[in-house]
Structures are given as structure tokens and as C-alpha cells.
Structure 1
Amino acid sequence: MRNDWSGQRLPHPPGRLPIVGDVRGLDPRRAFQTFVEDAAQLGPLSACKIFGQQFVFATTAELCAELCDERRFEKGFTPAVIALRDYGGDGLFTAYRHEPNWPLAHDLLVPAFAKTSMERYHEVFLQVTRELLDWWGATEGPVVVGKGMTKLTMESITRAAFSRDFGSFESEQTHPFVHAMVAALRAGQQQGTLSAAPLGRLAIARLKRKNAHHLAYSERLVDDVVSTRRKEGGDQEDLLGIMLEERHPETGEALDDTAIRNQILTFLVAGHETTSGALSFTLHYLLQHREVLARAQAETDEILGADPDAEPTFEQVPKFRYLRRCLDEALRMWPTVPGFARTPKQEVTLSTGHRMRPGDWALIMLPLVHRDPVAWGEDADQFDPDRFLPERSRGRMKHSYKPFGTGERSCIGRQFALHEAVLVLARLLHAYDLEPDPDYQLRIEERLTLLPEDLTVRLKRRVPVAVPERTPR
């Protein structure tokens, strides 16, 4: 029994069966949402057993805060994350704590998200956003939000990471690398599910053979980019340039080419799926709350002025405070990375009374933590960007908002993602009025991350409201 919690009995869905466990009632297309629905009824700590694998879920803000204590807990590895090591190796997301490339890569790459680097990425974001708006502007009828945002975020990360243009907006077709990456990641997720099933090893071996060419293509493309840069040099200010040229300030160590490949693959996965989903969820909620959309557009008019094609400067992006609150609130409602696992450094007893040993892990269910009335109030299921006003955030329970993970293993690219997302929203809302599909009901697509499924919007060029200049005081 994996993740056995010393054999302690935890609340679980009714109808558990021998061998297969709680598989009855589990919808494979919306497995995580099924887990969330079940866990919401079972208390702060619950379990679901799929064949021989036990998944343990933490659902309250109080328990989340306990598990996020870095003195007692660290990152845990679920079967799905372990399976992703076939793709990302010892990259920042999938590396084990003891692997030397994690602290080395982390220390080398922290400066890549400092202000001077972000100023360079700002120009990349502006260019890619122009391409998205031109592409959408030439489209007749409604546009598919997720498709466009995925193209945008993939171009942003490839150009920022290794100055490579994938030409996403030059064709309706998906770039072969994206197709290969998605296929390889889907195979990894399936491996995590199959790992404890009867004959699971045979099924995993067959799945690996079937998808080997996708993994090989992804690795070969990145290896070719790294090899070419080593031979020819080039732009040393992107992420690849930093990894090729920089040495650790204390040890003098550098990343080898395999480690660099793993980091780039990790950035490509994490950097495009998460931000694409965050943008898509934000637009969904803006479409559903017209008064919020109007306030957001008024803010863009005040900052960008009467020109619908005005582009925000680097210094202006942090001034879109209401847009940022809209983004934060959308990530509270539906965090695109919906959970992360924690495991104790030593044996501990939780506030629930359960013992937890190193190797036991609990998956923090962010959609439930982020809607816990104890932390967020009785209206926690309502979309309200103003709950992130400073005066309302002050004193809120610690660790009750975790869309970027926690502690030393939290998302290193957080500022990259937030700056890009606010910039894109500002440009889009300033240039266009948005008309929703009146019949659309939110459906969640489960990939490596979460995304609104089949969300569409009609775009109509708008005339910003001219805001009189304020008289200096």
C-alpha cells in the first residue's frame, strides 16, 4: 500500500470495493474535479484509493497552513509528478530535494526574473500580444480563448527562454513541438494513474513505447537549440544564455547540457499552460460580471488614454491594480495548478490527530482551500476582486492563497507570469469590447493544469473613454 499513513483509516467515498478501491463513480475525464467534489464532503483530511494507490487530500485553509510550515514539511511527490520525471528529469518542478541540480539551477535562475530581466521580457510580451490581437482581429466570428492564449503564452516563453519564434500565429495548426509536448505529458499523467493498477507495469511499458517518439522529438529540438547556441553564441540575456554562461557564485558550478534541457522543458510546460489558463479563467469571470469588466476597462482608459492601440510601459503594468485583483480572484476561484503535495521531514502528528511519516504525502486541494469560508467568508463562492484590496487582505489567514505553490519550491517564474497576464489583459480590454456566448456554462478541461473548456468570445473594437488629465496639486 503506497502512501499508507501507517494504516490509519481516513474518511473516504462510500462504496469502496476490494482491489479497485474507490474507482466507482470516478470520471476519468474530470478525475480531479471528482476528487474535489468527494473531498468537500469528507472533512479536512480524506482519502481516495485507486487500486493500490492511496491519495490523501487536505481541504481546509487551517490544514493547508499547517502543511505549508517549511520547518516541518517539504514538497511531496505524487505518482503523476514522479511520472513527469520522464519528461522533465531533474528540472525545477520534478527534481527531488537531494538532487544537486535543483539548488544549482534555482540559484542560477533567480536573477533571470529580476527587474532588469523583466524589462527585457516586457518587450517580448508586447510583441506577442500584438500578434495575438492581430490574429484575433482577422478572425470572423467568435474566437476560442484557450487556443489563442495558449499560442500567446507558448510564444512568450520560447522567445524569453531561448529567443526562438515558433510562428504560432502564422498558422491555424499547432506547432509540432506543442503537439509532442502535450502527448508526452498526457502519457506521464496516465502512467501515474496506472502505476498501482493490476498489470500496471505492462501497461506503462506499452504506453512508453507508444509515446517514445514524442519525448524524443521534444528532447531533440531543445538539444539542437542548446548545441547551436554553444557553437554560435547569440543573445546571452535570455534564460538559455544565463544557463550556458553563468556559474554559481560560491561553487563555480555550471549546468550541463542535459540539465539545461530539463530546465527548458520545465519552463515550456509550466510557463505556458499555467498562464494560459489564468488568462482564460479571468476572461470567463469578466464576461460573467459585466460591472467588473466595466471597472477594468475604465482602469485601462485612465492609464492608457484614448488610443485603443496604446501599449503599457513597463512602469505602467503595476498600476493596473484592479486588473491584478481580477486576475488574483480568478486564480482563487480556479487555480490553474489545482494542488501540490506535502510530506513531513520527520514523523509528526497533525492537528486532525493523524500521524504522518516521511514518505506519506497529502495533496492540498486548492479549489477548496481557496473557498474555505473560515478564511474567505461566507461569500467565498462569489467572484469579488475587491476581496484582494489591502484593507480586506490584511489579517487574512496565512497560507490561504497558494496558486503558485509554497516555500522554496514555489513557482520561480511567478513575476514573469503575473506581469505577462496583466499586460495582456490591459491591451485586450482597452482595445476591444467583449461579447460572451450567452449559453456558455463553465466546464473545466483537465490537462496538466486546468482550463475553461471551449470558452469563446466575440471581439468588437472599442473607443476608449477619454479621461481628463488630473490637475497637479
Structure 2
Amino acid sequence: MPHPFDREPPMTSMLQSSFMQESTRMAREHGPVFTRRLFNLEFTFVTGAELVAELADDNRFEKHVVPALQVVRPLIGDGLLSAHNHEPNWRTAHELLIPAFSQAAMRHYHTLMVEVCGRLTESWDRSARDLGRVDVTASMAKVTLEVIGRAGFGYSFGSFERDTPHPFVVALDEVLNHGQRSVTIPAIAGRFLGKHMAERNDENVAYLRDVVDEVIARRTRGDHGADLLGLMLDSDVLDPVNIRYQVLTFLAAGHETTSAAMSFTLYYLAAHPEIAERVRAEADSVLAVGELEFADIAKLRYLRRVIDESLRLWPTAPGYSRKAKQDTVLGGRYPMKAGEPVFVLLPALHREPVWGEDTDAFDPDRFLPERVRARPPHSFKPFGTGLRACIGRQFALHQTALVIASVLRRYDLALPADYRLEVAEGITFGPVDLTLDLSARRG
């Protein structure tokens, strides 16, 4: 019997870097459920809000670990992001670490975030004076790495003391890219490149493990502290290997996704100066001088709408995968076997007709409270769904709002005349080579 999903004629995209973007464009014609192939992989995409709401039911469906995450398990093992549902450590770690994202914990992290923002603005002050242009993607990567390293594990990578990326970042990016390539490149290329790629990947994994093991060993010998690492060391419910996996998971997932979210948001603000001015006025109304306090961030309601709209257009992960726990029928129409996965394609879900006209346009007012209430509740899912949704969501949003508000209160930003947004895709989305013209704020 043919598969009931709307199946596009079999094809393999040679544009590996734009497969999810191609699929997003095709969703308007083929959605809300359709299947595509990428070399040896098959994706059944789901894009409709009602079907996504069904998939959020943890009684019928559960997380499916996509191939690109399975192949990086030598690095992050059964950490929160990549653990299979039957593995016990993800639930243990999740319950253990929830207090690390409480309001009291976030107040502590805020102080560290402000300090890292200070290092960013020192760096951008020099760039504004000497170059007039900043590398946004590199700068946001430094911010997120420092914030996660210091707030989560009491470790500084010294990112702002370096002119080049920290070797840890280079190795981490190579491991994630290797994971993506190894499941998507054609078999013939894999045989040709496989040995060299595997050897390089093994070296990177060993280096990353060594760095984290040293951080853990140093903390084990002294005061455990009250951050993420301290909670894990004090609990005695996670073994040392799994603690390493959790640390690497936060560094890999949090660093990549939050960095991209801040970069996309700055792009859209530079592209829409009238929106940037409104964000700046809001930040000035909250605090005319000095640093933003913890309680101030919640008052930046328009900025939050700007961030959400950026995440709507470019969620930093292309989507998430769910599989049926038992044989079932999705939406009363699409039979699914137990264990059969589907992929919620977020950029397509976030461009469904429920979002209004011209869904490719940047419009923060889509997130006005009355418009949010009028939409189906599962129309916006940038942080995943269910029990396995992103545990660090509030951490990421708070950090993003603080950095964006701090930057806009200090600088005027503009896109270079020749810049056109291109989006790189892998395990995450991110803007390619985003730079901004920068000057100290007038007046």
C-alpha cells in the first residue's frame, strides 16, 4: 500500500546547505504533511498547527533523536539533547537541573551576563573607533560561550582576549559539522573522505572531553558552587561521564542556538531602523542611565516581540522530530506505525496562513497579546515541545534581551549596502558572514 503522506517525486537535493529552506518553500504546495529525500535520508515533514498540537501529546508521541544527533553521541552521549527516551539519565538530569533555571538562579546569572556584555561593548567600542564595522556572528558566539561557560560551569574561555576563535569553539563546530556531513553526503564521497574525517573528528572529540574533564576535576577538588555543574556534582545521582555529557550538551546546544538567535535579531533590527528606534526608546524608558537590572528585562515587552518574531522567521533549530509510541493515525488521516518519526519543520509552521498575510515579512506586532490568543496554541514552537523541550529557554531569552537592549542603547547599527541575508543550515540555522556598520549612538 502506498504511503498516505503527500509524497513529492523522489529527489535528492545537491544543495545540502539549503535542504530545509527548500523544504520550507515547498511546504506551501505540499503541506501539511509531505516526504522528501536527502541522499540516504528520508524526512516526513509536518507543518500544520493542528497536527503539531497532536504531536505535542506525550501520551501518544515522544522525542525521536535525529541522525545528525545520533552521530555526535560520542561527544554528548546521553545528555539532555541526544538521549533516547529509554535512557534514564535524561530524566534524572532534567529533574535535577530545573532549579538551575529558577528566578533566583536567573538573578545570579544576570550579573554574569552583564559582565560579559561589558566585555562585548569594550570590544565594539574599539571596532566603532577603528573600523566602523563589527563581525556580528563572531561576537555573538563569544558572548554565548562566555555566558554559558561562566554561568553554568564557572569557566571562562577568555573569548574577548583572543583575536581568533577559541580552539574549543573550532573543535566543537567541526564535530557538529562532521555529524551533519556524515549523515547527508553521498556514499561515494563518504568512502573517499570518511577515514580522514573520522580521524579528525576523533581528535576533536578527545580534545573537547579533556577540556571539560579538567573543568570538572578542578571543581571536584574545591567548592562545587551553585551553578549547573555544582548541582550535578553535589547530587551524586549522575556519574562523571554523564556529567561531562551534560556540560558538553549545554555548551554545544546553548552556544550555537543562542548565538544565532542574537545574530538574527540584530540583523532584523539593522534592516528595520524604525523598529530598532522603538526598541531603543523602550529600553531608555526603562532605564535612562546605568546597567539594566534583572527586573528590567521583563519590562522590555516590545523587544520580546522583536525576538519572538526573529525566532518565528528563523528558529535556530530547523525543527524537531517526534515518533509514535504505538500505531496511531495523525490528524485522522495519516497512519503512523509505532516508532515511525515525523519532523516538525519550524520555518514552515511559522509561515502558515494563521500568521496572516506576507508571512516572510518581519512584523513584531504579530506577537501582540490579542493576536497570540487568536492563533492556534501550537503555532510557535522554537524551543521544541513536551517533556524534551529546551530546558534553558528562559536563560536564552533573558540573555538575548539583555544583549540586544545593551547594544541598541549604545550604538547605531546599519547593514552594509551590499549585504544580503544568507542562512547556513546544519543542526542549527545561522546567518552567513553577518557584519554591521557600527557607530557610537548619536545624542
Name the TM-score class by shorter chain: over 0.9
Q: TM-score, normalised by structure 1?
A: 0.89
Structure 1 contact 432–460 (Cα < 8 Å) conserved: yes
Q: Does 2:199 align with 1:219?
A: no
What aligned pairs does 1:151-230 form with structure 2 within 5 A after superposition? 151-193=142-184, 197=187, 207-230=197-220
Partner in structure 1 of residue 232 of structure 2: 243
CA deviation after TM superposition for structure 1 residue 52, in Å = 4.2
Partner in structure 1 of residue 262 of structure 2: 279
Matches of 1:304 and 1:460, distance apart in 2: 21
**Distance change in 2, residues 1:399/1:205 (3 Å):** farther
For residue 97 of structure 1, the aligned residue among 64, 85, 94 is: 85
Larger radius of gyration: 1
Amino acid at match of 1:290: P
Partner in structure 2 of residue 443 of structure 1: 422
Structure 2 contact 16–184 (Cα < 8 Å) conserved: no
Q: Does 2:372 align with 1:393?
A: yes
Structure 1 contact 40–59 (Cα < 8 Å) conserved: no
The SS at the match of 2:54 is: helix
Uncovered stretches (5+) of structure 1, i.e. residues with no partner: 1-5, 17-21, 248-253, 465-473
Matches of 1:65 and 1:197, distance apart in 2: 36
Partner in structure 1 of residue 390 of structure 2: 411
For residue 322 of structure 1, the aligned residue among 298, 302, 326 is: 302
For residue 304 of structure 1, the aligned residue among 287, 290, 295 is: 287
Structure 1 contact 51–198 (Cα < 8 Å) conserved: no
CA deviation after TM superposition for structure 1 residue 35, in Å = 2.8
CA deviation after TM superposition for structure 1 residue 199, in Å = 9.1
For residue 72 of structure 1, the aligned residue among 53, 57, 60 is: 60
Give 1 or 2: higher helix fraction: 2
Q: Does 2:358 align with 1:368?
A: no
Amino acid at match of 2:376: M
Structure 2 contact 265–307 (Cα < 8 Å) conserved: yes
Structure 2 contact 146–156 (Cα < 8 Å) conserved: yes
Per-residue CA distance 1:78-112 (angstroms, 9 max, x = gap): 21121121221000000011111111101110000
Per-residue CA distance 1:322-351 (angstroms, 9 max, x = gap): 111100110011101120001111111122
Q: Does 2:2 align with 1:11?
A: no
Amino acid at match of 1:245: D
Matches of 1:423 and 1:53, distance apart in 2: 39
Matches of 1:442 and 1:203, distance apart in 2: 31
Q: Does 2:262 align with 1:268?
A: no
Bigger drift between 434-443 and 130-139 goes to: 434-443
CA-based RMSD of the aligned residues comes to 1.9
Amino acid at match of 1:385: P
Structure 1 contact 11–47 (Cα < 8 Å) conserved: yes
Matches of 2:157 and 2:39, distance apart in 1: 41
Structure 1 contact 183–214 (Cα < 8 Å) conserved: yes
CA deviation after TM superposition for structure 1 residue 439, in Å = 2.5
Matches of 2:189 and 2:420, distance apart in 1: 39
Amino acid at match of 2:227: D
Amino acid at match of 1:158: G
Partner in structure 2 of residue 19 of structure 1: none
CA deviation after TM superposition for structure 1 residue 162, in Å = 1.2
Amino acid at match of 2:73: R
Matches of 1:330 and 1:292, distance apart in 2: 12
CA deviation after TM superposition for structure 1 residue 11, in Å = 3.3
Q: TM-score, normalised by structure 2?
A: 0.95
Matches of 1:93 and 1:294, distance apart in 2: 37
Matches of 1:294 and 1:50, distance apart in 2: 43
Amino acid at match of 1:220: D
Matches of 1:415 and 1:49, distance apart in 2: 35
The count of corresponding residues between Structure 1 and Structure 2 is 440
The SS at the match of 1:341 is: strand
Matches of 2:341 and 2:183, distance apart in 1: 15
Give the % identical residues. Answer: 45
CA deviation after TM superposition for structure 1 residue 303, in Å = 1.0
Matches of 2:307 and 2:213, distance apart in 1: 35
Per-residue CA distance 1:28-82 (angstroms, 9 max, x = gap): 2323223323344322111112444321111222222222222211111221121
Structure 1 contact 87–185 (Cα < 8 Å) conserved: no
Matches of 1:122 and 1:51, distance apart in 2: 44
**Distance change in 2, residues 1:105/1:205 (3 Å):** farther
**Distance change in 2, residues 1:150/1:420 (3 Å):** same
What aligned pairs does 1:101-112 form with structure 2 within 5 A after superposition? 101-112=89-100
Q: Does 2:33 align with 1:48?
A: no
The SS at the match of 2:34 is: strand
Structure 2 contact 326–339 (Cα < 8 Å) conserved: no
Bigger drift between 293-302 and 384-393 goes to: 384-393
CA deviation after TM superposition for structure 1 residue 445, in Å = 1.6
Amino acid at match of 1:349: V
